[in-house]
Amino acid sequence: MSFHTAKETIKPLPNALPTYSAQDLTKGADQAQIVLGDQTYTLRITRAGKLILTK
């Protein structure tokens, strides 16, 4: 008895959400400000490569 795996071509679904690079948002720095309405938030890239968003 032999088993064969079907080779399917899986096409990724188009991303419906806008996608941004954190490095582009911070323009190479480690922080950027994001404004939503009358609130300003700070996006920070940590040394470990994580993102922190604070008010």
Q: What is the reported pLDDT for 1? A: 54
| The residue to which tokens 């679904």 are assigned | 13
Q: What is the reported pLDDT for 25? A: 94
**Is 15 inside a domain boundary?**
no
Q: How many domains does the chain have?
A: 1
**Is 8 inside a domain boundary?**
no
**Is 12 inside a domain boundary?**
no
- Residue 40 neighbours by CB under 8 Å, 6+ apart: 33, 34, 55
**Is 43 inside a domain boundary?**
yes
**In terms of residue numbers, what domain contains 42?**
28-54
Closest of 16, 34, 15, 35 to residue 24, by C-alpha: 34
Residue 13, classed as helix, strand or coil, is coil
Residue 30, classed as helix, strand or coil, is coil
Q: What is the reported pLDDT for 52? A: 98
Q: What is the reported pLDDT for 41? A: 98
**Is 48 inside a domain boundary?**
yes
Beta bridge partners of 52: 44
